[in-house]
């Protein structure tokens, strides 16, 4: 089996690059004699000073048979458990460290079309590149080899060029090949990198949070009479915001303009999201009566009076907010300026409503079906959430995270 054109050999405290040209090494030494450097695979930039000691200064007529067909250079020196590459050889200003107990191949550092892998990685501006070994920032050898395998081949580069031309060319001609689709399919087969699991580092914290909220809500529902209306709203609002982190502020008892009478209406709680858009939330303590009637009206279980009245109330808030428009935005921005992030403007753009009230754990199947019909016919504007909905949501989040409450 023929030897590779580029091979790495550890020689004590030095890492040698052994180069075997196609013909012989005479032209290499001739170039050095003229002061010319040697460039290998667009990756290594070598001079006569980098020659391994036993070969430096030898007369061409003194070269033995092996030396006629290969030449060795010192490309890295040992420092602790690593070989450190000479920066002028690899042509980058980012330190490159290679574990002394690994055996690299030329493919580790050179891609097709004379592309330096190290230079491409250095362009991403890491503090250093460490391959193998036990350093905290070391890239495991298997991962590094997988990374290098992602570099595009000549075939992929050809497909990329065709894809850039494909859309315009196909519009102007009767060309039938979808080069962009072919490129996507090819890349999908080659790329094997798995996305980082962003949830795992926070999983236990999320489990702890949802377990606490589930226990808190369960305890509150068991002793609802022990809370005032305001205390109840504040606690439930915290739970809602922890489940919907898009809301960064909640303002109680917000006066808004009644666009018909010119007087003021009092919104119980106004929510503001990360972009300044407002929504309205109504939080009611659970009542003993079921959220839909036990009897039927024309064979339908209709919403409890408290629920129907709250929906109407929220619809009016949303109607007046929308009518208030830009002047309302300016008024609310001025009013809450000190409580909002600097520069954040309140926005009234089709605000939505959220109602939290009632229980559904004791509904019959027909009652539950009619209640769901009622909820969904209002869902595009107002979302009605029961306390059992919140409990189920917390329970399923815990199950999804692998921790059954």
62, 5 in Cβ contact below 8 A? no
Same domain, 270 and 213: yes
- What pLDDT sits at residue 185? 72
**Pick from 267, 256, 248, 260: nearest CA to 355:** 267
Contact 271, 250 (CB under 8 A): yes
- pLDDT value, residue 79: 94
Residue 143 maps to a domain: no
Whether residue 265 sits in one domain with residue 183: no
**Contact indicator for 348, 322 with CB cutoff of 8 Å:** yes
Domain match, 243 and 374 both? yes
Question: In angstroms, rounded to a whole number, what is the distance separating the alpha carbons of residues 151 and 138?
Answer: 20
Mean pLDDT in each 10-residue stretch from start to end of the chain (405 residues)?
A: 84 93 84 91 91 60 60 94 94 93 91 81 90 93 87 70 66 63 67 68 87 94 90 94 91 91 91 95 87 83 88 93 94 93 93 92 89 86 92 92 63
CA proximity to 70, closest of 126, 31, 29, 111: 29
CB neighbour list of residue 169: distance below 8 Å, 6 or more residues apart? 175
251 and 185 together in one domain: no
Pair 313, 385 in one domain:
yes
Separation in Å, CA 30 to CA 27, 67, 178, 317:
5, 14, 50, 88
Instruction: Give the domain extent around 50.
Output: 6-131
Predicted pLDDT of residue 187: 65
239 and 347 in a single domain? The answer is yes
Q: Is the same domain home to 172 and 258?
A: no
- Same domain membership, residue 379 and residue 275: yes
Give me the half-sphere count of Cα atoms (radius 13 Å) on the Cβ side of residue 218.
12
Residue at 149 is within a domain: no
b vs e for 295-321, b when ≥16 Cβ sit within 10 Å of the residue's Cβ? Answer: eeeeeebbbbeebeebbebbeebbebb
Exposure letters 266-280 (e unless 16+ CB within 10 A, then b): ebbbbbbeeebbbbb
Max Cα–Cα distance, the chain, nearest Å = 111
DSSP 8-class letter at 193: P
The answer to whether residues 222 and 158 belong to one domain is: no
Q: Backbone dihedral region of 133: left (phi > 0), alpha (psi from -120 to 50 degrees) or beta?
A: left
pTM: 0.55
Q: What is the pLDDT of residue 168?
A: 63
Provide the pLDDT for residue 60: 47
CA end-to-end distance (rounded Å), the chain: 63
Q: Is the residue at 147 inside a domain?
A: no
For residue 142, being part of any structural domain is answered with no
- Residue 22 confidence (pLDDT): 81
Of the candidates 190, 214, 238, which is a domain's last residue? 190
pLDDT value at residue 56 = 47
In a domain, 136, yes or no: no
Instruction: Evaluate whether residue 405 is within a structural domain.
Output: no
Q: Do residues 286 and 221 make contact, with C-beta atoms less than 8 angstroms apart?
A: yes
Question: Are both 173 and 223 inside the same structural domain?
Answer: no
Q: What is the pLDDT of residue 175?
A: 59
- pLDDT value of residue 78: 95
Which CATH number do you get for residue 298? 3.40.91
Residues 313 and 362 in one domain: yes
E strand or H helix that includes residue 398: helix 387-400
Give yes or no for a contact between 86 and 76, defined as CB atoms under 8 angstroms apart. yes
For 233, 247, 288, 339, 348, the CA distances from 250, given in Å and listed in that order, are 11, 8, 28, 10, 15
Identify the three-state secondary structure at position 355: strand
The verdict on 225 and 328 lying in the same domain is yes
CA angle, 218 then 390 then 315, to 5°: 125
**Domains in the chain: how many in total?**
3
Among residues 61, 75, 79, the alpha carbon closest in space to that of 110 is found at 75
Cβ proximity of 17 and 72 under 8 Å: yes
The contacts of residue 339 (CB under 8 Å, 6+ apart) are 249, 251
CA 37 to chain centre: 45
**Do the beta carbons of residue 190 and residue 156 sit within 8 Å?**
yes
Examine residue 146 and state whether it is found in any structural domain, yes or no.
no
Instruction: Find the angle CA(385)-CA(389)-CA(390) to the nearest 5 degrees.
Output: 95
Is 45 within a domain?
Answer: yes
């Amino acid at each position: 089996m023929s030897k590779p054109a580029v091979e790495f050999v550890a020689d004590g405290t030095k890492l040698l690059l052994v180069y075997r040209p196609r013909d012989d090494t005479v032209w290499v030494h001739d170039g050095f004699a003229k002061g010319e450097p040697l460039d290998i695979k667009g990756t290594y930039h070598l001079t006569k000073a980098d020659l391994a000691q036993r070969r430096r200064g030898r007369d061409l007529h003194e070269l033995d048979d092996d030396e006629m067909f290969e030449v060795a250079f010192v490309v890295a020196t040992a420092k602790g458990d690593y070989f450190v590459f000479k920066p002028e050889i690899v042509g980058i200003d980012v330190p490159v460290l290679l574990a002394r107990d690994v055996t690299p191949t030329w493919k580790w550092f050179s891609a097709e079309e004379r592309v330096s892998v190290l230079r491409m990685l250095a362009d991403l501006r890491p503090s250093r590149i460490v391959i193998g070994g036990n350093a905290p920032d070391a890239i495991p050898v298997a991962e590094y080899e997988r990374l290098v395998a992602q570099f595009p081949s000549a075939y992929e580069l050809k497909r990329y060029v065709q894809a850039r031309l494909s859309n315009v060319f196909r519009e102007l001609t009767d060309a039938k090949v979808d080069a962009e689709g072919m490129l996507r399919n090819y890349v999908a087969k080659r790329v094997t990198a798995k996305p980082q699991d962003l949830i795992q580092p926070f999983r236990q914290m999320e489990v702890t949070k949802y377990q606490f909220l589930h226990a808190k809500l369960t305890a509150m529902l068991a002793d609802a009479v022990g809370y005032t209306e305001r205390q109840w709203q504040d606690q439930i609002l915290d739970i809602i915001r922890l489940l919907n982190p898009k809301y960064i502020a909640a303002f109680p008892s917000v006066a808004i303009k009644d666009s018909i009478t010119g007087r003021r209406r009092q919104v119980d709680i106004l929510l503001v999201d990360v972009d300044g858009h407002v929504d309205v939330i109504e939080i009611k303590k659970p009542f003993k009566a079921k959220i839909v009637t036990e009897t039927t009206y024309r064979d339908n279980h209709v919403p409890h009076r408290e629920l129907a009245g709250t929906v109407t109330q929220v619809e009016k808030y949303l109607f007046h907010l929308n009518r208030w428009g830009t002047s309302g935005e300016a008024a609310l921005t001025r009013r809450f300026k000190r409580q909002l992030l600097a520069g954040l403007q309140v926005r009234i753009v089709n605000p939505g409503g959220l109602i939290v009230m009632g229980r559904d754990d004791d509904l019959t199947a027909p009652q539950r079906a009619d209640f769901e019909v009622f909820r969904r016919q209002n869902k595009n504007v107002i979302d009605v959430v029961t306390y059992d909905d919140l409990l189920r949501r917390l329970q399923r989040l815990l199950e999804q995270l692998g921790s059954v409450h």
